[in-house]
Structure formats: C-alpha cells, structure tokens
Structure 1
Amino acid sequence: MANIVIATNTKAMGKLDGSVKRKVYDFLEKLQTDDTAPSLHIEPIKGAADARVRTGRVDLNYRAILFRLDPEGGDTTYVYMGTWKHDEANDLAEQSTLRVNKINGTVEGIIGEINSGEDRKKVSAIPNATAEVRATVDRDKPPYLVGAGFTMSDLVDRLGLDPVLAERAMAAADDYAINEIAADIDGWQGDALLDLACGTAIDDIREKYSFTDGAVDESLDEDSQILAALEHPASRMQFTYIDDTEELRRVIEGGDFAAWRTFLHPEQRTYVEKDFNGAFRLSGGAGTGKTVVAIHRARRLWKSNPQARIILTTFNKTLAKGLEADLKVLDPDVIIAKRPGDPGIYVAGIDKLASDIANRASDLTAATTAVFGAPVDVTPKRTTPDRVWREIAQPGGSGLDQRLSTPAFLENEYVSVVLANKVTTLEQYVRVARAGRGVRLSRAQRIAVWKLVEAFRRHSRTDSSLSFPEILAVAAEHLTLGQQAGKPFVADHVLVDEAQDLHATHWALLHALVPEGSNDLFIAEDSHQRIYGQPVVLGRMGIKIVGRSRRLTLNYRTTAQNLNFAVGVLSGADYHDLEEGEESTLGYRSARLGPNPDRHQCNSLADELDYVAETVRKWLAEGAEPETIAVLTRGQNDRTQFVRALGERGIDARALDDNPATTGHVQVLTMHRSKGMEFSRVVLAGVDEAHVPSQAAMRTVPEEEKAEAELCERSLLYVAASRARDELVVTWSGKPSTLLGNG
C-alpha cells in the first residue's frame, strides 16, 4: 500500500470541475490501495528533469503529475502535485522537480512551464510583480530591504529564498511593493517576505520557521532526505500526508488545498505540538489563527491520549458552536464529550460549562454558603442582571451617586469584587481591596453599594433566578472545595478561546477545572478585541503565565488594506494584556491584497440607506453569495432599520441574532454579534459621532471609567472592521466618528 502526500498549495485542483475532482479522488484512492494497478497508467517521462516524476491517468482527458519516492528500507510514497489536461500534464512533468532546499531543509516542488524556453516556476509561483516598476519611482532612495540592511546573501544563503524571488524583493521600493510580491507566493517564502518587510531579523525568521543549521542529513539517500524534509514545519505548509480514504475525500471534494484544516504556519504548528509546563497564553490580532491553533491543539491532545478529559471553551454559545463544527471538520472521528469530566473533548460556552458542573453536583450547600453566606438553590432559571439592577437602583432611592447607580457599574462591581472575593457581609466589603476598579469608593458609598447587592440577591431569590456570574462562582467554589477534600479535578487539559472578554468568575472556574502542570491551561486571546467588561490580570486570579506567552502577527483573513484600516482604529490608544504588559500592534501584517476600504460620507440617513443598498446590490451583481455579505451596525435598533431599508430596496436581508446564519440572505447584525465571524464583504454602517462610540452608552459611564469604556468602543470597531476578508465599506451621515481618524 503506497503512501500519498498532496501538495496543498497547488492551484491546479481549483480549476477543475466537480466531475474531474471526483475522478481525481478515485485515482488517488486506487493509487493508495495498489499503485501497480494497470488502469492507473503510472508512467515515467522520457528525458525528464527529475527521474522521480510520473504521470497517471485520471481519465482519457486528464493526467496527474506525481513524484515517486522509494526510500531505502521504506514504503513507496507518491507526492501528488495536481491534475492537468493530458498533453499539458506531460509537458509540465518533463521539466518538474522535487528537491530539498539545502539551506533550510524544506521540500520544494517545482512545476515546469509549458514553454520550455521560460524559467521554471515553483508551486508557490513567483509572479511578475509590479515591484520592479515601483522601485524606479524614487531613484534617490535605496530599495526598501537594502535600506533596512538586508542583502541578497541574507535572503538566499541564510533563508533559502528562491534567487529570482529574492532579487525582486531586494529591488522593491517599499514595504507595500514587497507585500504585493508576497501576496502571490504560497507557503513559507511569501510569509518570510512579509517578515522581512516588517524588519524582522534573519535569525528571528529562521527560528520562527524552524530553520536549523545542518538542515539535511547527507547520510540518507535522496528519497529518504525528501521524506524527512516533508516533516519540516515549513514543508507542511505546502504538503500534507493523507492517512485514509475519508481524509482524501474531504481534501479532494473540498477543493481548497490551502484550507485551515490542512494548513498550519510553522509558528502555529509549534504552539499546537509543544508541551508547556503550566498555563500558556497565545495572543494575536484578528485573523492570525489563534482559534485554529486552539482547535488543532485540542485534537492533538486527544489523539495523544483518547482517554484524556479535555475542555474547549469560549466566551459564548455561538462561538462554541463554531468551535465544535470546525473541530468535526478537522477530524470527524474526534470524540465530543457530552459532559465535562468525560473522556474526549467537551465543547461549550463557558456559562454552559458552569451550569453543567453545577447541575452534576449532588450537594452545593457548602459552595453556595461560601459564595452567598447561606445555602441557595442553584436550579432556578437564569436571569439578566441588567434588568434586576435597573429595578433596584432607582435614581436617588439608594443613596448612591447617580453616576454609580447604573447597571453596568453595579454588575462589574458585583462580579469583579463581591463574587471574585466571595464577599458575604458588609464588614468584608468595606475592607476588601478593589484592584482594577477605576472608581474609588468612600465608606459611605460602599455601604450604599452593599445595600444594593443585598437587594439584588433578595430579588433573585424571590424571583427564583440566578445570574450566570453567580453560577460560575458557585461552580468554581464547588470544584475548589472538592479538590481540598481529595476529589479529582474535572479536566486534564483546558483550552479557552476569546479569553480577553472573560471576567473574574470565569477565570475562577477555569483555574479550578484543571490541576497545575503540563499542558493544563491554553489561553488564546487578543486584548485589542476586548469588547465586554473590565480587564483582568491573570496573576491576581492565581494563574501564572509569566514567560509562557507568545504572539501571532500574520493575518490570514483579511487584506492588507482592510487590516491597515482596522489597526488604524486602535492608533493612539494604550492597551494592556492579561499580564498587565503593553499590547502592541507592531508587526501585524497580511498575506493578501485587495482594494482600499471605501469610506463614504452621506448627506443624510436616507442617502446612507440608499448607498448601502446600492453597494450590496453591486456585490450581488458581481456574483457574491448573499450570505457572504454583511452589514454591521452599532445597535439593534439600527440593525432593524437597515434590514427594513434593504428589503424596501429589493434586497433580501435578515437580522442575525442568536440564531445561526442562513444561506440566501444578506446578513445584518450588530458589531457585537459579529465577534468570531467573517464575511467576504462588509459594510460598517452608521459610523458617525453619535453611534461610534455610542454616546448613549458613554453617558452612563462614571468619569473615572470613561477611558476604559472608550477603549472597548475602539475595540468594537476594530473587531467589526476585521470581519471583512475582501472588501470593506464604511458609511456615515453627519460627522464621522472620531475613531475613524483622518485616513
């Protein structure tokens, strides 16, 4: 039985229609089962540049290009490069080669040109970029990389870049020109160019892509060298082993060989496969693949030990459903645990996780007593805290300053101070430290707040309801008390995505789920995307990650132009991560190019509604699927208005709330709801000074917390802008939002 490796970045398969793709699957399945079958017509090419090259019959009109590897003492392996029409395949195969890059130890598959007089090109094709033209714009300035101190020797002799590609990069006038070249290069070479454009040192790039000295084991035969090189992290960006027929079918029928389920950047793969002696934090901007790493890592931990109890959780149930769906796409055989503590991977929003733990407990008397000061029934319905706080904190009725008598302030105080510290009496509350809270409270103000806390708790008991933060606090305490009594932990490994939006009781639960040790807690987060609640410092929650934190910077989702706009929203603001360190956007870059975002000022709201409808109609006429188009608004009332306006203008649009997205309709949703999603084309509507930041929301924020609230508003616009893969349009009427800057 032959092994099959597929070149995952070849463009050839994407050009084939569905019927041919099915034949490719049949061909490769037969090849994997019996490569000697006469019907396959596996044939060498006379006079080929590489004696390993073969072609095989897919049907009478199409042939596959393959490389056959016969290592000493090993099984035959075929590397599938793509499928072309019969004559074209033979011409290409004659000039094609498979080799190991002697500088860095990666595999390079080189597909020939039909015109033998032209230079050959790699699967990661070297384009006729426009950089050479741009380099002549200002002859008084040196090319960008030259000015940055890089040389051809750095690129070719130390990184192993193709000399033709390196020459073009060294001639590029600026980092934008380098980006244009890199956007058309698949695999590690394109990514390395982006690193160079950011000024990343050669040694740092070599480390990132796992390039080492002595990259090739010269004691091996050539075929064995290639097989060994196929295991290199950078090679695995471009080549993937196919383990079984089901995986083969998914890859072939999917048609997208660069799909995330088969693709990991070498840096991402490091964080998937490495064992950490304690909690580890992976940060990175929107679209850098943090979620992809978390999903792959969960699967890796499960594959290593199918009996392991793994929890994969995130901020809410909508995001959790996406995690589970992607996990099943990655590996349909993965075991999804029904309950936390069962073998397999339990996937749920963190609030549901807390409820499941509480519901499984036989006795919560001790836990509720520790949290509330008395036993409480935790089985009643869940409540929305805002509504309760609004009812009990009537202006002037509590004796508390009006600026503090708001649901937002009181809920944050209750969660971050009262529940986080298990405060049950006034005496405890007046003495407790309020680290991280922007507003100082006098003793009289603390007494007034505590009266409202007691009223909140009485109301909840009378109404037979508990809030999710309360359930989280009880579940965390239940687990902690159990461990003190010698009971086992619930999980062996915990992975959490979108961690920047979790509050104190979330972290208390996460800390109590798993014992400290190897691969205990994996945290994926981006502090620039925090759009809820108060910032948390993990050290105060007993979670130590000092020295075990890394950052991803390469964006795979959106274009460089859209990313530049989104990052510009953050410009001038100070963000801090979960370790209280400064969070920077330095080095964020994208591997894709596209049009500049369309910033359009409208004369009136009616004019804006017309322009948005016109834009959406144009995209639909260009062939965009309706469900890949999204209109994002700051609030729900605006969302409703745009749904109605689009409908009146003949566009089938639907509001997207808790329900999953449906096909056939343009999606209209709030910026908050767009978290964790992506669309091909996005309109950010109503980005004016009244809506972004939301002046209505800002009026209720105490002066001491306004700076933090404005950061959340910046983050919200950043999240919304970074949902767009290809095109971004920003509209407003009246004065534009101050967050848009002057760009």
Structure 2
Amino acid sequence: MLELANTFHRSLNRLTNAEQTATKTIIFDYMSDPSRPGLSLHRVDKAREKGFWTIRVNRDLRIVVYKHSQKSVFCYVAHHDDAYSWAERRRFEVHPVTGAAQIVELVEIVREEIRTVTPEPARRGIFAHEGRDYLLSLGVPETYLELLLQVDEDGLLELLPRLPEEAQEALMAIATGERPEPRPVLQANIDADPFTHPDAQRRFWVASDEQMVAQALEKPWAEWLVFLHPSQRAAVERSVTGPARISGSAGTGKSVVAMHRAAHLARNTASGRILLTTFSKILSERLSEGMDTLLGSSSEARQRVEVIHLHAYAHRHVSRLKPLTIADDRTIDGFIEDARRDLDSTITNGFIRTEWDAIVDYWGIKTFDAYKVIARTGRGTAMNAALRRKLWDVFERVQRQLAANELYTFGEVCDLLRSRIEQDEARPFTHVVVDEAQDLGPRELGLVAALAPAASRSLTFAGDVGQRIFRWPFSWLSAGVDVRGRSHRLKVNYRTTAEIRLFSDHLLPARLTEVDGEPEERAAVSLLHGPKPDLKGANDLVGEVEILAEWLGGLQQLGVAPGEIAIFARTRRALQERAGPALERVGIGGTWLAPDKTHEDGKVILGTLHSAKGLEFRAVAIVACDDLQTPLQAALNLSNEPDEKRLTEERELSLLYVGCTRARDQLLITWSGTPSRFLDSVK
C-alpha cells in the first residue's frame, strides 16, 4: 500500500511523456518490492524531515518519497537537484489543532522571500487582529503564525501557494470580508491517522493495488474525483427542505459536487433510485465515468444511480409505448415557411423561429389564450393582441403539421413523460441531481420536478448563469421550482490558474442575476498559477495558422501530450480552416469531439465552443476570435429587437467564457483581421 500526494501529481505532469512513463514504471517496481536494490533508495541527508528518501528513476530523475513505519507517500518527482532542493525545504507535520497531515515548506525560506516583495514591512498586517488560536483552527501551520500576523495584501499573494490548501482558502476568505468556520478538529483522538482527516484526504490518496495506482496516474489530479475539497463537502452533505441549488463560476467544481452529491445519496439511502442528469450528451458520459470511480462500477449503490442526459431519458421512456420521431431544425423551418402565408414581409422567418424557440415551444403553449398573455422575457417590445393573433395562426399551423407527420419536439417529449408520471402518481426516483442546470428550459425543469417526490434533498441543481449557452432565461418560479434561500455558492477554483480565471471572469459582468434568482458574484479564488493567456492576432488567415502552429510546436517541446490539448472555434468551418493546416504543419493529428466516441491517442481534440461544455484540458486554443465569428454575426442577424439582440450577444459571450475556462494551464486566443469586441475589456 502506498499514498500519492497532490504535489507528486503536479510535478509528474511537468515531465515529458517519456519521463512520466519511466516514473510510473518505478512506482510499480516499488509496489512489488520496496527493497529492490535497483531502486537506489537514498535518504535526503540535508533535509530536516528525516523521513524523506529519494528513489532513482534514471540517471538524473529522482522521486521524493516520505517513509514512516509501513507508510510510503510519493511526494515529488523532478531532476536530481530540483528534487533534493524540494525535499530540503519541506517537512511532514501533523497539524496541532486539526490533526491533519500536511507537507509544510520551511518558514525561513518564505520569510526571506516575503521581505523581497513587501515594500513596507512596517505596515500593519491584514491578519494582525486575528487570534492565533483561530488561525490555527483554519489549518495554518504553527510555524507560519508570526509571519502571517505581519503580512500585507501583496505579501499574502506570495505566501498563499506555500500554505496547505485549507489554509489558503480560509485566509483568502478573510481577506475578502468573509468569516470561515474553523476546520474539523480531530486532536482529541491521539491515535487517529492524520491522513484520514478530511483536509489530508484532499492531498493524499491511498492506493491498495497496482490497478488503482494505474488509474490515478493516468489522470491529472484535478480529474481524480475521489478527492472532495472541504469547501465543496458542505454542498454535498447539506440537508434542505426543498429544491437546492449549487452555483459557482467555471472551475469551482460544480460537476464534481454533483457527482459526489449523487454518490452521497446512494451510499446513505438503503433503497431508492437516484438520477444524475444534464443537458449535454458528452458531459453525461463523463458523469457516468465519475460515478463508476466514486462508487465502483459493479457496486450495489452504483446500480441504483442512473446517469443519462435528460432528453435521452425522456425520449427512451416515452417511446416505450410508441416510437417517437424528433423534428429537426430544417423541418421546422420548412413548416414555418409554409405556414406564414400572407403574413407581413417585415416579420421575418428568423423572428418567427426565435419566437417559436423562446416562447411557444419553450413553454409548451397550445392555445391562443395562453399565448396572448404570456410574458415574452427578452423578446423586445410588447406585441399588441392583433399581431399575436396573426403569429398564433402561424404557430397553430406548424403544430398541426407536426402532428400530421407524427413529429415531436424534445419539449413535447418532456411534457408527455411528465404527464404520464403525474397521472400514474409513481415517481421513478427518490433523488434527482442535475448538472449544468442553467441550460434547462421550463419544460425540462417541469419534468425534473416530477421525477422525484417533494421531500428533503430530493432535487439538487448545479449550474452557473454565466455559462448559459443553449437556453433563454426564464422564471423558475413560473415553472414550479423555487430554490430561493437554498443556494450554496462555490468560491474556490481548483481547475484553472489564477491568470486564466481573472482573464475569463473579466469577460463577464461582475454580477449576474437570474430572472427571479439571487445575484451571483463572479468572484472566486484560484489556488494555481501559470502563464497569462496569450492573445495574438494576424492580418489574414495564413498568419493566424502560423500563430497556432507555433503554439502547438511549443507545447510539443514542453512535453504536453496531444490529448491534453484542445482547439475550439465558434463554428466547425472556422476551426477546420485554421486547425487543419496548423496541425499538418507540426505533424499532429486531430480528432473531433462527439458523444459516444473514444478519442484516439496522440491526437489534439477539436470542437465547437458548444461542444466544449463540461470538459477541461491542459492547454486550450480558441481560434477565429474576430468581429464576424465572435460573436457570430449570423446569430445576431436573426434578432430584430434590441432586447433579443442583447440576449443573443450575452449567449455568444458566455460561449467564449466557456471556451476560455476549459483551459487548466495555458490559453491561446487568436484572430484574423479585426479582433472581437468581446476582447476589449481584457486586452
């Protein structure tokens, strides 16, 4: 049995592919026989932590391992001098208050560096008014207390990366005006294993066999879903009396919380079924894999959790009695063209189609009486009764055409299943957890509310209004779901570097509000750091291809695997024109994102911004960010009213935000000609 620390994962990801392979081989050798002579175990003589040893990977590469009794913790891997330097500047500690195991960087090094970045050391520290006992209760190592009481805001930013994660989060919360609760205290049990504390479990993972180690080493730390951060745990375990909502900007772990919520419910209910669903087919595949990891693919609890995207679930169950065919966009456009007849030519087909998508089919309106009184949120100026009458004649003909051809929309399928459930009075699930809930429409939301009985913890929604890219805003209250007063906002970003997060957050307003929801602040804290996003424009397409090819070549030199790289654009055509030639120039293949598709090894991931939802990659390029593609002029041209254009542009901006926040470490944005106006606030 051995343990892997998050510091080991991060250092492993910085190595070349060949070095990573060699390191993994040595780990398996160690597991089979820790005393094997070829491992060249050597104690780090100059380290204050006498439990630090190194293992020889090759001529220059070394693994730092902490050995104590029968425990071996893989902590770091790097080239010889770097590995020894890392070990000499750190030690293992059991926190005196929380009882959690920590890897602590020696304070002498930090003290010296803080002096170099603090121009006014005499300034009163921002934590000077805090009691030492309170700071200790937050997980701050005891040796950092004196320094922390003196540090100012600039010094804090330099200090935070050297502290344990729980301390980083708590201190940033204090610095931004919050008052976090103390961490769980386990010191009363002196025999407790310090590695079992919730704070310790976020940075150390126990592997009992080679298969578990192999699984862990194939995924970046941020994707290894067995780690639930304490700031997310409250959202997972909270008990509420009605529907609850979990919100947070990109990278704060909403999908992770949704999966852990479903797993928590499965473990703590003796019977009953749980549905974990979302709006995206690609994301539902990822959620299913996560549930296999959390519960075990063959466990009894896993068998009671169904993971499927909502439209597929509705279509499958409604079609059991009679096969249903979904009308595609081209068919509906044709029906609208046929149904408009002598309608005034100033009313375009594009306007009628968006009225259908945003109002009529969106809400499931079947009568003129319902249409003439419904609020048209975001649809511009009010319509008089005469115009609504003329438009309803068109919509009524479209609905008759759909019925005559036995065609359905997904909204109708959701309504059919909801009606059947309510008629039978048999709820198929005890709990429903929805990820990316911001992209549900009112008919989908009504179906979700019908899938489980009205009970404590029966409905949980995770989402971010800033990432709404498929649907129009609407009142959840009007759809019969009230989450007011039962919202939990995640504020710590565990995926994206601070530099990428700041850039991405500046694309959106600082505060966003749902139609009848509570304001959502975009502010979050990132614990990772890296290079700033790279914004590069060219005069023409050829120049943009050269920029992309040069970036890809640089990633190759850094040892970034092609499968850890993604290139996105607003449209498939724009991506093909840029990614294809660039990939050919550097000799790498590309593979398109698609549901139910296993991506080929050794190829860069390609996709539209819509397909990027819910995914993450080590490096991301977003191409064609010019004034015609971002926002997409063709989408804006479909909008006639000012409010409608505003909502369309907001959705286009959210698409760019989604694309940018798929990047963990590196982000490139390119354009040809005039750059997108969306970049004005961040350039």
Same fold per TM (> 0.5)?
Answer: yes
For residue 565 of structure 1, what is the amino acid of its counterpart?
F
For 1:414, which of 360, 372, 378 is the aligned residue? 360
Distance 1:264 1:180, change over 3 A: farther
Equivalent residue letter for 1:328: D
CA shift, 1:351, in A, is 0.6
1:211 aligns with 2:183: yes
Q: Give yes or no for the alignment of 1:458 onto 2:400.
A: yes
Could you tell me how far apart the structure 1 residues matched to 2:310 and 2:487 are?
A: 22
- Structure 2 distance, partners of 1:729, 1:4, is 38
Q: Which residue of 2 aligns with 1:369?
A: none
Residue of structure 2 in register with 1:190 after alignment: 168
- In the TM superposition, what is the alpha-carbon distance from 1:272 to its structure 2 partner? 2.2
Matched, 1:577 2:514: yes
Q: Contact between 1:643 and 1:655, CA under 8 Å: does it hold in 2?
A: no
Q: Whole-Å Cα distance in 2 between the matches of residues 683 and 255 of structure 1?
A: 21
Query: What's the counterpart of residue 714 of structure 1?
Result: 653
Greater mean alpha carbon deviation, residues 10-19 or residues 558-567: 10-19
Residues in 2 aligned to 1:298 and 1:694: alpha-carbon distance in whole angstroms = 37
Question: After superposition, what is the alpha-carbon deviation per residue over 1:657-678, rounded to whole angstroms, capped at 9, x for unaligned?
Answer: 5353433223332111211122
Task: Tell me which residue corresponds to 1:115.
Answer: none
2:627 to 681, 685, 689: 689
CA contact (8 A) 2:125 2:151 kept: no
Q: Is the 1:390–1:407 contact (alpha carbons within 8 Å) kept by the matching residues of 2?
A: no
Segments of structure 1 that go 5 or more residues without pairing to the other structure are 32-43, 69-76, 112-118, 363-377
Q: Deviations over 1:575-624 (max 9, x none)?
A: 213742222212x1211111111222322232222222222233223322
CA contact (8 A) 2:246 2:487 kept: yes
- Alpha carbons of structure 1 residues 259 and 379: separation in structure 2 relative to 1, 3 Å: closer
Return closer, same or farther for 1:673/1:131 CA change in 2, 3 Å cut-off: farther
Give the partner amino acid of 2:570.
R
AA in 1 matched with 2:531: P
- Paired with 1:166 and 1:542, the residues of 2 have a C-alpha distance of 51
Does the alignment pair 1:548 with 2:493? Answer: no
Q: Is the Cα contact below 8 Å between 1:9 and 1:258 reproduced in 2?
A: no
Deviation by residue 1:245-276 (Cα, 9 ceiling, x = unmatched): 47754566558667532321101122223333
Contact 2:570/2:624 (<8 A) preserved = yes
| Distance in 2, Cα, partners of 1:705 & 1:286 | 25
Structure 2 match to 1:236? 201
With over 3 angstroms needed to count, the CA separation of the structure-2 counterparts of 1:256 and 1:414, relative to structure 1, is closer
Matched, 1:398 2:398: no
CA contact (8 A) 1:287 1:558 kept: yes
Does the 8 Å CA contact 1:554/1:590 hold for their aligned counterparts? yes
Question: Per-residue deviation at 1:233?
Answer: 2.7
AA aligned to 2:475 is: V
State yes or no: 1:333 paired with 2:297.
yes
Equivalent residue in structure 2 for 1:426, among 365, 368, 374: 368
Aligned-partner Cα distance in 2 for 1:241–1:591? 23
SS of the residue corresponding to residue 183 of structure 2 reads: coil
* Residues 390 and 646 of structure 1: CA distance in aligned 2, closer, same or farther (over 3 Å): farther
Q: Deviations over 1:703-722 (max 9, x none)?
A: 23222222212211111111
Partner of 2:39: none
Matched to 1:479, the amino acid is I
The percentage of counterpart residues that share the same residue type is: 25
| SS of equivalent residue, structure 1 residue 728 | strand
Residue 504 (structure 1) aligned with residue 442 (structure 2):
yes
Two-structure CA RMSD over aligned residues (Å): 4.3
* Post-superposition CA distance 1:261-298 (Å, at most 9, x none): 23211011222233333221110111111111111222
Contact 1:555 1:591 in 2 (8 A): yes
1:159 and 2:138 are equivalent in the alignment: yes
Deviation, structure 1 residue 182: 2.9
- Find the residue that maps to 1:673 and give its secondary structure: helix
Tell whether 2:145 aligns with 1:199.
Answer: no
2:446 partner amino acid: A
Q: What's the TM-score once normalised by structure 1's chain length?
A: 0.77
Larger deviation, residues 592-601 vs 428-437? 428-437
2:530 corresponding residue in structure 1: 594
Deviation at 1:429, TM superposition (A): 3.0
**Distance in 1 of aligned mates of 2:219 and 2:289:** 19
How far has the Cα of 1:631 moved from its partner? 2.2
Q: Does the aligned pair in 2 maintain the 1:429–1:446 contact within 8 Å?
A: yes
Q: Find the aligned partners of 2:670 and 2:431 in 1 and give their Cα distance.
A: 45
Q: Does 1:106 align with 2:100?
A: yes
Q: Does 1:275 align with 2:217?
A: no
Structure 2 distance, partners of 1:195, 1:181, is 15
Asked if structure 2 preserves the Cα contact closer than 8 Å seen for 1:302 and 1:344, the reply is yes
CA distance in 1, matches of 2:107, 2:494: 28
- Does the C-alpha gap of structure 1 residues 359 and 154 become closer, same or farther in structure 2, counting only changes over 3 Å? same
Which structure's CA Rg is the greater one? 1
How has the CA–CA distance of structure 1 residues 260 and 269 changed in structure 2, closer, same or farther, with 3 Å as cutoff?
A: farther
Q: Match of 1:469? A: 411
Cα distance in 1, alignment partners of residues 73 and 469 from structure 2: 45
In the alignment, the residues of structure 2 paired with residue 128 and residue 260 of structure 1 have an alpha-carbon distance, to the nearest angstrom, of 34
Deviation of 1:393 (Å): 3.6
Structure 2 counterpart of 1:492, one-letter code: T
Does the Cα contact within 8 Å between 1:605 and 1:733 map onto a contact in 2? yes
- The aligned residue for residue 117 of structure 2 is 134
* C-alpha distance in 1 between matches for 2:537 and 2:93: 54
User: Partners of 1:152 and 1:570 in 2: how far apart?
Assistant: 37
Q: Deviation of residue 325 (structure 1)?
A: 1.9
TM-score w.r.t. length of structure 2: 0.83
2:421 to 467, 472, 479: 479
Cα deviation per residue 1:39-98 (whole Å; 9 max; x = unaligned)? xxxxx99xx9999x7999999x99964445xxxxxxxx957465999xx99999999986
SS of 2:372's partner is: helix
Q: Offset at 1:500?
A: 0.6
The match for 1:620 among 556, 565, 569 is 556
Q: Please name the residue that 2:680 is paired with.
A: 741
SS at match of 1:448: helix
Paired residues of 1:308 and 1:343 also in contact (CA < 8 A): no
- Comparing 254-263 and 665-674, the one that deviates more: 254-263
Structure-to-structure mapping, 1:660-679, within 5 angstroms: 660=597, 661-679=599-617
Q: CA deviation at 1:653?
A: 4.5
Using a 3 Å threshold, how does the CA distance of structure 1 residues 131 and 274 change in structure 2: closer, same or farther?
same
Deviation string, structure 1 residues 404-458 (Cα, Å, up to 9, x no partner): 63422322112333x1xxx433334334455675552221222222222222222
Give the corresponding residue for 1:71.
none
Confirm or deny: 8 A CA contact 1:359 1:379 kept in the other structure. Answer: yes
